Structure 1
Amino acid sequence: MVDLDSLLTDLAAESAALEALVAELPEADWARPTPAPGWTVAHQIAHLAWTDHVATLAATDIDAFAESIRHAAGDPHGFIDRGAAEFLAPVPELLDRWRASRSALDRALRGVPAGVKMPWYGTRMSATSMATARIMETWAHGEDVADTLGVTRTPTARLRHVAYLGARTVGHAFATRGRPIPDAAVRVELTGPDGESWRFGPADAADRVSGPALDFCLLVTQRRHHADLALVAVGPVATEWLGIAQVFAGPPGPGREPGGHPDPAEHRRPGGVS
């Protein structure tokens, strides 16, 4: 188990790494299209700021967050786009909004009593789970920005949080597509950025997924197609899972087409709050 303080430290570091990537960009680069149709680099950052904002509401203002839930229920396929659009602003103001929303969420999560689960879209989450999810999302949207800018980021040990969530959401990937949740567990065996071994799931599971941790994180966040990754699946459940893996909440994401890195305008953004 990772304590909340360590998670929030890693969340701050992941956010700072993405901020360093975008803070000095010319204004024209903020308007470049990313792998999300209709989303520019500015939309990606605005989305992160908006999601931090609603996560803060979930931790501090149940009534205000319930209003967000009602909006989501009335527009399940558009409320995420609307949230990003609402937080768009000129670049200096957008950066300030994002910094402020990150700071507010840090304070809010530190104030959530141990054992309390906050409401979220379709589920409930502890402060540690929320912090882990925010690391995952910040990293995933950072990958969209890096792809847009043609930047290859150096993976860090913070990917373990993304991998942990990915390994825990096997059942979710099946359920969100209306498929029976498999009885068989899946063992995930990964090689981390520094050559360390990361292991999740029962050691005696017949179904297994193995490979580089970076590739696994790209898979479960739907930033790459499984055919373009060095992941090996053994067993029918693991094999099926590779095609539908989805760490984020919400309806099934369409994922990415195989074949590497097509023009960002041709990519499709995964669904859900991610």
Structure 2
Amino acid sequence: MTATAVYDDLLAECADLDALVSGLTPSGWALPTPADGWTIAHQIAHLSWTDRHAALAATDPEAFTRLIAETTDPMAMVAAGADPAAHPHGPLEPWRRSREEVVDALRALPPGARIPWFGPPMAGPSMATARLMETWAHGQDVADALRTTREPTHRLRHVAHIAVRARDYAHHVNGTPPPAIPIRVELTAPTGETWTWGPGDAPEKITGLALDFCLLAVRRRHPDDLDLHATGPAAAHWLTIAQAFAGPPGPGRRPGQDTAHAPSTH
């Protein structure tokens, strides 16, 4: 997949979420989402804040690095960035601007450039993939708050790819050693085709719906509520800790808690 396709997919993912929230009334913006203490306005304010900082990292890496060096509590900074009070006229227009800014900044990067971030530095396409993953994850919180079902798209492949690449990281943040063996992942895409990662002769395997694997990886559903199957103990354990995002895993969702208001993690 080309970098241009990733950037286009990020904008498309943003547009789909925009369509969910653009017609909301003030009471709609104030609806609670499954993220503890966050309304829909918090969700969009957070995306705006993160996109703005990603654009800064891409256009002025020195300024972004100084900002991080001066931050004593990154989680508090993230929480403050989600405060809708920072947007007296609502977070929608700031988010529309910031998501265009980050895509423009990423497109302008020279090939091979690395961008500083809260975790390891990333290339432009990787940053775009991460932004798409986070937009989709927070979009799920918004959809749950609105009691609506989103149509899965080919863009889920980006989310699944991050989750597969982050297998060892998921073990690290959960305090368990990564398995030394490869694990095959075979997911049924929304189109019916099969997406695969890992060698075909891997001793262990995960199979199921791409949508469900992505919901698991952003910890928006409990494994018991998803159509995923593991062959082998390492694959089974991975399903209990999989995550596509950086930071602590958090509590996730309880079984049967598809749209209930309960703590999320990202």
TM-score, with length taken from structure 2: 0.95
Partner residue, 1:101: 98
Q: CA deviation at 1:85?
A: 1.6
Greater shift in the superposed pair: 76-85 or 224-233: 76-85
Indicate yes or no: 2:243 matched with 1:269.
no
Q: Give the whole-Å Cα distance in 2 for the aligned partners of 1:252 and 1:263.
A: 19
Cα distance in 2 for partners of 1:200, 1:48 equals 29
Shift of 1:205: 0.9
Alignment of 1:181-192 (within 5 A): 181-192=178-189
Give the Cα–Cα distance (whole angstroms) in 1 for the partners of residues 151 and 86 of structure 2. Answer: 28
Where do 1:185-204 residues align within 5 Å?
Answer: 185-204=182-201
SS at match of 2:196: strand
- Percent sequence identity over matched residues? 52
Q: Select between 34-43 and 114-123 the one with higher mean Cα deviation.
A: 114-123
Counterpart of 2:67, as a letter, is S
Q: Matched residues in 2 for 1:232 and 1:208: separation?
A: 8
Aligned to 1:89: 87
**1:15-30 aligned within 5 A:** 15-30=14-29
Conserved 8 A contact 1:50-1:87:
no
Question: Alpha carbon RMSD of aligned pairs, Å?
Answer: 1.5
Which residue matches 1:149? 146
Taking the aligned partners of 1:27 and 1:204, their CA distance within structure 2 comes to 54
The whole-number CA distance in structure 2 between the counterparts of 1:124 and 1:116 is: 10
Which has the higher mean CA deviation after the structures are superposed, 173-182 or 8-17? 173-182
Secondary structure of 2:154 counterpart: coil
For 1:84, the aligned partner's letter is A
Distance 1:70 1:87, change over 3 A: farther
User: Could you tell me which residue of structure 2 aligns to residue 113 of structure 1?
Assistant: 110
Question: Partner of 1:246 in structure 2?
Answer: 243
Q: Distance in 1 between matches of 2:232 and 2:244?
A: 20
Which consecutive unaligned segments of at least 5 residues does structure 2 have? none
* Per-residue deviation, 1:78: 2.3
String of CA shifts for 1:27-79, please: whole Å, max 9, x gaps.
1010011011111000000011111011111111123212332355x214322
- Count the aligned residue pairs: 266
Aligned to 2:76: 78
Matched residue, 2:223: 226
Partner Cα separation in structure 1 for residue 70 and residue 46 of structure 2: 16
Which residue number corresponds to residue 236 of structure 1? 233
Q: What is the CA-CA distance between 1:87 and the residue it aligns to? A: 7.1
* Contact 1:46/1:87 (8 A) holds in 2: no
Identify unmatched segments of 5+ residues in structure 1. Answer: none
- 1:157-193: CA deviations, max 9, x gaps? 1111111111111101001122212211111100011
Contact 2:115-2:124 at 8 Å conserved across structures: yes
* Deviates most, 112-121 or 25-34: 112-121
Q: Secondary structure at the match of 1:78?
A: helix
